[in-house]
């Protein structure tokens, strides 16, 4: 009786582990991890597009939001939150009000229209014969040397019962830099359409004052500047959609890494 060898059967070539396959899988994981890390770093490095202005749509007042227009004047018991008004005549105008500057005071000639987003706006007397109106806010959290984009809506109108064609503009000062908007031509008792103005300023300190000074001609008409929807953002900062795409890439890379780890 012959003895039978008890050696285990030799494995087939297909059942042997492939060291090259393991190496390729490791390389793929390293590449995905690198993509994930770089994408995350890019997301964290992107500059924020946060608006530096507070109450830029003039919706917040102290003590509460009015249902009618009111004067922005020294001694008035209602003020515009986070903004400082100086001058003789200025009014906060909510959408659709009848008395532009409140009862028993002058109003704008009609028809006039609210800004495109139907927000509040400020009407500012620019008559050079009196003290032209100005509106200012101190902006903090700036980066010295960085560029910032200022955007706002501008229009022109005329207070009753005055007559005559007028011209209007804003002189805008941010820190020590001053720029002037294009001149608006307003017909007698008229109202111009709203136009968006954009300016670029360079910060020279971490805190600066932004001021809108109403300008216009001629004396005694009076010229009236309208201001709405003020925003100040870092120049070149990506739109929110850019952040969304980068965040989506981070999530996708993370999902792929987790899936490949589960398969390995």
pLDDT at 21: 56
Owning domain of residue 122? 61-233
Structural domain includes residue 15:
no
**128, burial (CB in 10 Å: exposed 0-12, middle 13-18, buried 19+):** middle
Which tokens belong to 241? 């959609």
At residue 263 the predicted structure's pLDDT band, cuts being 50, 70 and 90, is: low
At residue 70 the predicted structure's pLDDT band, cuts being 50, 70 and 90, is: confident
pLDDT at 180: 98
Which tokens belong to 8? 């285990």
Residue 167 has pLDDT above 70, yes or no: yes
Structural domain includes residue 102:
yes
One domain, residues 91 and 221: yes
pLDDT at 186: 97
State percent of the chain over pLDDT 70: 66
Structural domain includes residue 251:
yes
Q: Write the CATH number for 117.
A: 2.60.120.260
One domain, residues 147 and 99: yes
Structural domain includes residue 55:
no
One domain, residues 150 and 75: yes
One domain, residues 39 and 67: no
The mean of the pLDDT values for the chain is 81
One domain, residues 159 and 224: yes
One domain, residues 98 and 199: yes
One domain, residues 131 and 198: yes
Residue 24 φ/ψ, nearest 5 degrees: -65, -40
One domain, residues 214 and 87: yes
Structural domain includes residue 3:
no
The separation between the first and the last C-alpha atoms of the chain, rounded to the nearest angstrom, is 49
One domain, residues 25 and 113: no
Structural domain includes residue 246:
yes
CA–CA gap between residue 68 and residue 101 (Å, rounded): 8
pLDDT at 249: 58
Q: Give the count of beta carbons closer than 10 Å to the beta carbon of residue 119.
A: 16
pLDDT at 72: 79
pLDDT at 99: 77
pLDDT tens by residue, 182-240: 999 999 999 999 999 999 999 999 999 999 999 999 998 899 999 999 999 999 855 45
The angle that helices 19-45 and 240-263 make with each other, rounded to 10 degrees, is 160
Residue 8 has pLDDT above 80, yes or no: no
Structural domain includes residue 8:
no
pLDDT tens by residue, 78-108: 788 999 999 888 899 988 887 788 766 788 9
Largest CA distance in the chain: 131
Domain count across the chain: 2
pLDDT tens by residue, 197-213: 999 999 999 999 999 99
One domain, residues 206 and 192: yes
Structural domain includes residue 51:
no
CB–CB of 224/180 below 8 Å?
Answer: no
Which tokens belong to 54? 């507070």
One domain, residues 32 and 161: no
Residue 77 has pLDDT above 90, yes or no: no
Residue 74 has pLDDT above 60, yes or no: no
pLDDT at 79: 82
Which tokens belong to 24? 């390729």
Residue 137 φ/ψ, nearest 5 degrees: -150, 140
pLDDT tens by residue, 109-130: 999 999 999 999 999 999 988 8
One domain, residues 208 and 87: yes
């Amino acid at each position: 009786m012959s003895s039978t060898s008890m050696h285990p059967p030799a494995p087939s070539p297909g059942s042997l582990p492939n060291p090259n396959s393991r190496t390729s899988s490791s390389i793929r994981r390293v590449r995905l991890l690198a993509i994930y890390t770089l994408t995350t770093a890019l997301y964290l490095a992107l500059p924020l597009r946060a608006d530096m202005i507070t109450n830029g749509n003039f919706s917040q007042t102290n003590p509460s939001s009015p249902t009618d227009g009111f004067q922005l004047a020294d001694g008035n018991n209602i003020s515009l939150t986070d903004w400082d008004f100086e001058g003789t005549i200025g009014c906060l105008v909510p959408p659709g009000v009848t008395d532009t500057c409140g009862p028993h005071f002058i109003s704008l000639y009609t028809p006039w229209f609210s800004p495109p987003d139907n927000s509040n706006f400020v009407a500012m007397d620019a008559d050079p014969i009196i003290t032209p109106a100005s509106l200012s806010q101190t902006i903090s959290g700036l980066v010295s040397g960085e560029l910032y984009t200022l955007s706002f809506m501008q229009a022109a109108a005329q207070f009753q019962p005055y007559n005559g064609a007028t011209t209007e503009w804003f002189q805008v000062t941010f820190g020590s830099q001053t720029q002037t908007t294009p001149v608006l031509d307003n017909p007698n008792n008229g109202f111009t359409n709203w136009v968006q103005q954009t300016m670029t300023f360079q910060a020279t300190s971490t805190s600066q004052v932004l001021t809108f000074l109403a300008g216009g001609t001629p004396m005694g008409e009076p010229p009236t500047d309208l201001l709405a929807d003020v925003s100040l953002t870092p120049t070149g900062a990506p739109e929110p959609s850019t952040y969304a795409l980068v965040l989506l890439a981070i999530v996708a890379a993370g999902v792929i890494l987790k899936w490949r780890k589960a398969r390995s």
